Structure 1
Amino acid sequence: MTPPDASGSSSNNRWSDLSRPPLGTTALRRGLVREGGLWRRVDVVQRTGSTNTDLVARAAAGEADEGSVLVAEEQTAARGRLDRQWSAPPRSGLFFSVLLRPAEVPVPRWGWLPLLTGVAVATGLSRVAGVDTALKWPNDLLVTVGDEERKAGGILAERAGDDGVVIGVGVNVSLRADELPVPRAGSLALAGAVNTDRDPLLRGVLRSLEDWYGRWRAAEGDPAASGLQETYAAGCATLGRMVRAELPGDRSLVGEAVAVDGDGRLVLATAAGVQEPVGAGDIVHLRLA
């Protein structure tokens, strides 16, 4: 333990904020790692740049198997889509990555993994925190603070060699209003969570992810047969909205989000009377359709 400074506190002291107790590796392993289960190893580090970067490197070095979970109390170089940077105070959220190797699933269906993770995280948080978490296509987690829709988390998937995918999850748990990185950000606490203890929250999310991943893998990645496509659509706040899709090449497309197709793409009905699928891009919610 790092000793406190002369004022009696230290930013490096993991016990310096008793309202945000540290996670325990032993307890998490005891609760999550079991014979025949998905999760094989759980590691908690106090501080790192990015759990995704670290776990991709471990996989490349042959030091991580499917079901490896890497959790950080603090990330200093966390990344979102398009390499956007974000940060949060130590122990204020869930910051973790998992390694999956869905050998039974055709690679073209792997694009469903971020959406699957979104469903699993939303389900787990609803059960444990009592917060209604909605999904913004493709990878944002939304909560309601007052009467305002705010982003409380995100998901980032990266390939790990030819046979693996590392999926990173970041969720703001106990952030206060004065700690938010931007005014429109949110947290479970600000959304009225009944539980902000990160240990049961993390366990709930990982158990939900294990369940959904097992269903999807058993169906060979078929989003309809596994129930994933229907469940994602039911929890997707983007559907039924007028949106603007910011596309590669400085293009944009405006339309009503009417469906998520079998490839996980967002389908927009445009003013020209055509339906166009969007596979990648930033989505801006404009208004309810």
Structure 2
Amino acid sequence: MTSSDDFDRPWSDLDRPPLKAANLRGALVRPDGLWTSLDVVASTGSTNTDLAARADGLPEGAVLVAEEQTEGRGRLDRTWTAPARSGLFVSVLLKPGVPVHRWGWLPLLAGVAAASGVSKAAKVDVSLKWPNDLLVSVGGEERKTGGILAERAGDDGVVVGLGLNVSLGADELPVPTAGSLRLAGVEFPDRDPLLRAVLRSLEEWYGTWVRAGGDPVASGLQEAYELRCATLGRRVRAELPGERTLEGEAVSLDGDGRLVVATEGGGTEAVGAGDIVHLRT
């Protein structure tokens, strides 16, 4: 892991300036706030892996940001790669004092927070594909521009990681069906205000959820997620563990955050793990 405190030296790529770590700490790390530390490193394999390895020795609210990830991971063991300084690669350590059976809502909470923060800072519509992919419109098509991975860490922690494509051009996308804020029409996306907006939104949503004991209804989380979710009301195919598939209409979320799919036979099934494909009507 290569570290640097501020990255204030001149940079050759003027379109992708480095993050200003000192300014970010000054804006986000406060005695009465959630974020207790914020470090920016030049390059690492995975911010989630690095933060999880130190979870027991860190207080809640540690933030680790990388300018480049060489071994980034997404859901279902997928890789996440992007050029240096082309996106946000950030992980946070949370130690929620709520019943463990509510922890399954954390990835969805992070999705709501990230989508609302990015929408506000970049002035672009961001929706969610269940459970926590961030979607933008590129040429009238839904494209994934971000994803979230939450993992247990240490005795009482959860590391939540966000990868967001910011300035990637079409020739830099990991797959042709991916997207970026730049391709969605954000002409000069600035990562510093994006990161501040995402972390402030996450702090607000997390605080509300914890004060409600992790209850997704009392905290307003379930309603907010459903309003942003592009999956609900759509015909979907769920690719489930064991090479099983399920097709039907995504009709709701249950109390555990699982996607409820109405099948053609008239029944319903709650999907808690797997890959969801939006089918064209």
- TM-score band, normalised by shorter chain: over 0.9
Q: Deviations over 1:194-253 (max 9, x none)?
A: 651100000000000000000100000000000000010010000011101111111111
Q: Are 1:255 and 1:271, in contact at CA under 8 Å, matched by a contact in 2?
A: yes
2:221 & 2:183 partners in 1: Cα distance? 29
Q: What is the rounded CA distance, in whole Å, between the counterparts of 2:152 and 2:50 in structure 1?
A: 13
Secondary structure, counterpart of 1:263 in structure 2: coil
Q: For residue 14 of structure 1, report the CA deviation from its aligned partner.
A: 7.7
Do residues 92 (structure 1) and 86 (structure 2) align?
yes
Shift of 1:287: 2.4
Give the Cα separation in 2 of the matches to 1:194 and 1:94.
Answer: 17
User: Which residue number corresponds to residue 79 of structure 1?
Assistant: 73
Indicate whether 1:235 and 2:228 are aligned.
Answer: yes
What's the secondary structure of 2:14's corresponding residue? Answer: coil
Task: Give the whole-Å Cα distance in 1 for the aligned partners of 2:160 and 2:55.
Answer: 12
**Pairing partner for 1:184 from 174, 177, 181:** 177
Per-residue CA deviations over 1:132-174 (Å, capped at 9, x if unaligned) read 1110001211000011110001000000123110000000000
1:174 counterpart (167, 178, 186): 167
Aligned to 1:129: 122
What TM-score comes out, normalization by structure 1 length?
0.92
SS in 2 for 1:46: strand
3-state SS of paired residue (2:250)? strand
Aligned to 2:11: 15
Which of residues 20, 36, 41 in structure 2 aligns to 1:40? 36
In structure 1, the partner of 2:6 is none
Moved more, 271-280 or 13-22: 13-22
1:279 maps to which of 269, 272, 277: 272
| Cα displacement (A) at 1:86 | 2.1
CA distance in 1, matches of 2:70, 2:87: 13
Matched residue of 2:280: which SS? strand
Aligned-residue offset at 1:58: 1.2
User: In the alignment, which of 14, 20, 44 is matched to residue 24 of structure 1?
Assistant: 20
Determine what percentage of the aligned residue pairs are the same residue.
72
- Alpha carbons of 1:97 and 1:251: their partners in 2 closer, same or farther (altered >3 Å)? same
Secondary structure of the equivalent of 2:31? coil
- Amino acid paired to 2:117: G
TM-score by length of 2: 0.95
Local SS of the residue matching 2:43: coil
TM superposition shift of 1:261: 1.1
Work out the CA distance in 2 between the residues paired with 1:195 and 1:260.
Answer: 36
Does 1:262 find its partner at 2:255?
yes
User: What one-letter code is carried by the residue in structure 2 that aligns with 1:210?
Assistant: E
Task: Render the CA deviation track for 1:31-84: whole Å, top value 9, x for unaligned.
Answer: 001121000000000000000000000114x1x210000000000000011211
SS at match of 1:200: helix
Give 3-state SS (helix, strand or coil) of 1:232's partner: helix
Structure 1: distance between partners of 2:233 and 2:42? 41
Between the aligned partners of 1:101 and 1:195, the Cα distance in structure 2 is 35
Residues 1:14 and 1:249: Cα distance change in structure 2 (over 3 Å) = farther
- 1:15, 1:21 within 8 Å by CA — same for their partners in 2? yes
Question: Which amino acid in structure 1 is aligned with residue 92 of structure 2?
Answer: V
Structure 1 CA distance for aligned equivalents of residues 35 and 10 of structure 2: 26
The two structures, once aligned, show a CA RMSD in angstroms of: 1.2
CA distance in 2, matches of 1:252, 1:16: 48
State how far apart, in whole Å, the 2-side matches of 1:27 and 1:226 are. Answer: 31
Query: How far apart are the structure 2 equivalents of 1:244 and 1:67?
Result: 37
Give 3-state SS (helix, strand or coil) of 2:227's partner: helix
User: Separation in 1 of the partners of 2:106 and 2:35?
Assistant: 16
4+ residue runs over 4 A deviation:
none
Which ranges in structure 1 are unaligned for 5 or more consecutive residues?
1-12
Tell me which of 111, 121, 127 is aligned to 2:104.
Answer: 111
Give the partner amino acid of 1:97: S
Matched letter for residue 75 of structure 1: Q
Number of corresponding residues = 273
Displacement of 1:128 in angstroms is 0.5
Aligned to 1:138: 131
Residue in structure 2 matched with residue 9 of structure 1 by the alignment: none
